[in-house]
Structure 1
Amino acid sequence: MAGYKGHDEYDYLFKLVLIGDSGVGKSNLLSRFTRNQFNLESKSTIGVEFATKSLEIDGKVIKAQIWDTAGQERYRAITSAYYRGAVGALLVYDVTRRPTFENAARWLKELRNHTDPNMVVMLIGNKCDLRHLVLVPTEDGKSFAERESLYFMETSALDATNVESAFTEVLSQIYRIVSKRSVEAGDIGSASMTLPPKGQTIDVKDDSSVLKRIGCCSS
């Protein structure tokens, strides 16, 4: 982004994780957001990959470190390390494959078993460009998101619909939590003194008062 003093200079580092069944498009969402690329021939992710991207929110440079892993059961032994330190998650299903949506509840349960239940989570219905093949209506996604207090968007990694918006919304909500906490810790004039040191990974645990989410952010 223009105006950055250096590639590695940032105010906050937020770790996000991508979760969901294999083949729902997690890797392509990651590559679309961080590199604006889409690979029709992408193979299943083996192990863990992560990519970073910096963006500006309220004049602060936020660096997102986004982790992506395979959705297959046999790779789930890595979950503890994978989730550690994450402050946000994108729970992805494929709108053309109903079982991937039905499995979202299991993924959410696993996420909450490994992280604070109040972390910022967005439910993503990916592949919305395949409208003629949709088997998960938008309303189903919205209802699940509202029931579980998640944000919600439908995206297409293929044509880039809502990809930037989804990641940016999650990062913005995390930043708002951090900002609100700093203001509540002291008056506004001293808020900057209570923010964590530059580049520190933020932990949103034990701050349920800040995370009052109602409904979803569908578009």
Structure 2
Amino acid sequence: MAATATSKPVRDEAEPAREKLPLKPQVVRIEVLGDEKVGKTSLICSLVSRHFSEKVPSVLLNVQIPAEESDENVIVSITDTSSRVSDLMRVTNATKRSDAILLVYDLTRPETFQRLRRWLDFIAKNKEIPVVLVANKVDINAVTPTTDGPYASQVRHLVNTYPVECSAKNFTQ
């Protein structure tokens, strides 16, 4: 009897069966931007070490959080950035590779909030990307932190932005 076109090909017994390899976890790249001394590095260090330290480097190397430690089973790659003008090209390149931005400002220094527009313009020039606006240092701000606070209401209308208030020091959000 002749084989038909719909029959399965015969596998050579010497050839091992192909096992399904597990899929590599997806990598989510997050860049942390903001003015100098707003707490970018402290937020990252607190997240990774699960405690606050007064002594942190000025900028961290790229931080990787393994897939098994994330809720979504993805590798989270966090890029800390410098606020120095001399590092602008490096920051620009990191922005282009990122999947999301954490734009950090300091609740105790209103000028860092006022400069958010400059940062948002910089981001928009490089890539359309979700931006989480992070109001840091709520632990030392006299205003009670709420997502409906005065800063949040001023940025809520911005496209692709999501405001949060937190503290690297005492892990509040």
| Structure-1-length-normalised TM-score | 0.60
The partner residue of 2:149 within 139, 161, 165 is 139
Deviations 1:180-199 (A, max 9, x none): xxxxxxxxxxxxxxxxxxxx
Give the structure-2-normalised TM-score.
0.75
The amino acid that maps onto 1:12 is Q
After superposition, the C-alpha distances for 1:74-105 in whole angstroms (9 at most, x for unaligned) are 32232232212211011100000011111111
Query: Which of 84, 98, 119 does residue 96 from structure 2 map onto?
Result: 84
Larger radius of gyration: 2
Deviations 1:125-155 (A, max 9, x none): 0000003389xx9633212321213111101
Partner residue, 2:18 = none
Dislocated runs of 4+, deviation >6 Å: none
CA distance in structure 1 between the aligned counterparts of 2:124 and 2:156, rounded to whole angstroms: 16
Give the unaligned 5+ runs of structure 2: 1-22
1:19 matched to 2:30: no
Q: What is the alpha-carbon distance in structure 2 between the residues aligned to residue 27 and residue 10 of structure 1?
A: 28
Structure 1 unaligned runs (5+)? 1-8, 163-219
Partner Cα separation in structure 2 for residue 97 and residue 85 of structure 1 = 29
Q: Cα 1:148–1:50, aligned 2, differ >3 Å: closer, same or farther?
A: same
SS in 1 for 2:102: strand
**Counterpart in 1 of 2:83?**
71
Q: How many residues are treated as equivalent by the alignment? A: 145
More helix by share: 1
Separation in structure 1 between the aligned mates of residue 139 and residue 113 of structure 2, nearest angstrom:
17
Q: Distance in 1 between matches of 2:82 and 2:90?
A: 10
C-alpha root-mean-square deviation of aligned residues, in Å? 2.2
Q: How many Å separate the matches in 1 of 2:25 and 2:143?
A: 42
Distance 1:83 1:49 in 2: 15
Task: Say whether residues 1:99 and 2:114 are aligned partners.
Answer: no
> Percent identity over the alignment?
23
The Cα shift of 1:113 comes to 0.9
AA partner of residue 16 (structure 1): I
CA distance in 2, matches of 1:64, 1:14: 5
Following TM superposition, by how much is the alpha carbon of 1:43 offset from its aligned partner in structure 2, in angstroms?
A: 4.3
